[in-house]
Amino acid sequence: METRARDSTIKELKRRLHFENVFHIEPRGLFGGLCLLWNEIYNIDIYFSCENHIKARIDDRKGKIWECNFIYGNPCFGRRREQWRAITANNNNRGEPQLFIGDFNDILSQEEKIGLHPKSQSHIRITLWT
């Protein structure tokens, strides 16, 4: 999720929530920023990060390993499509299960839309992340 938070705020959050580890990407001005907090029950190897995406290999220390993509979808439609192309093209999966989680900044159906300016059905089909 987009945190919009500086390092000092994230460190305080880590302390108050009793997490042992943190990975933080600073926001640019008033926008952006990502944060991942975890405890030692998992071994997490973050091997890629950028302003909208963190890729990590997660080991639950019980023999289960998977790849996790923590994503904040770019609010701009064109950039969001570019982002998804980069994510899928940069796939280093070693045959491990993958999880894509985050705020994709998009909807899958009209029922998710509240307020003015409904999205056209064709636009919803185009923006599917699958």
Yes or no: is domain 7-126 CATH 3.60.10.10? Answer: yes
pLDDT of residue 106: 79
Looking up tokens 């159906």 gives 109
pLDDT of residue 44: 96
Query: What tens digit of pLDDT does each residue of 89-114 get?
Result: 766 667 889 999 998 887 777 777 77
What are the boundaries of each domain within the chain? 7-126
Q: Read off φ and ψ for residue 37, nearest 5 degrees.
A: -120, 140
| Max CA separation in the chain (angstroms) | 48
Work out the pLDDT band at 130, boundaries 50, 70, 90.
very low
- Count of CA atoms in the C-beta half-sphere (13 A) of 90: 15
Of the candidate ranges 24-28, 53-57, 116-120, the one whose mean pLDDT is the lowest: 116-120
Between CA 56 and CA 123 the distance in angstroms is 31
**Which residues, in sequence order, are CB contacts of 14 under 8 Å at separation 6+?**
22, 37
- Higher pLDDT, residue 18 or 5: 18
Query: What tens digit of pLDDT does each residue of 10-31 get?
Result: 999 999 999 999 999 998 887 8
Q: Which percentage of the chain shows pLDDT scores above 70? A: 86
Alpha helices of 26-99 — where are they, by DSSP H? 77-89
Query: In this structure, are residues 19 and 40 in contact, taking their beta carbons and an 8 Å threshold?
Result: no
Looking up tokens 């009793």 gives 18
